[in-house]
Amino acid sequence: MKRKIYNILKGKFLVNDDAFKNWRMILFLSVLALIMIASSHSADRKVHEVARLKDEVRELHSRFVEGRSELMGLKKETVVEHRMKEKGIFISEIPPTKIKVKSKK
């Protein structure tokens, strides 16, 4: 038992007669490890991209809400009236009248 462990630690299994079988397994495991590492890096990249896009969505949503609230403020009658006064346009003193059109049949 002790001798087998020493042989493994010294690497004798890599240079003896049926070492080709061992090298194939080592090469196969190395390729699998490289594939696993590449997959892990790809997953990490995607996680960072998703986090960045979520932050961007939050920022755009807050800008949208800010713009919408500003628009609601600008649509108020008093704000429109004040801005039109600056340009010399005033609210009519005479209320609007309804025009009725009778169709000819």
42-78 pLDDT, tens digit per residue, is 999 999 999 999 999 999 999 999 999 999 999 998 8
Measured CA to CA, the distance from residue 85 to residue 88 in angstroms comes to 5
Local confidence band at 14 (pLDDT 50, 70, 90 cut-offs): confident
Q: Angle at CA 72, nearest 5°, toward 69 and 74?
A: 110
The CA radius of gyration of the chain, in Å to the nearest whole number, is 39
Measured CA to CA, the distance from residue 80 to residue 83 in angstroms comes to 5
The answer to whether the CB of 79 falls within 8 A of the CB of 73 is yes
CA 12 to chain centroid: 52
Rounded to two decimals, the pTM is: 0.55
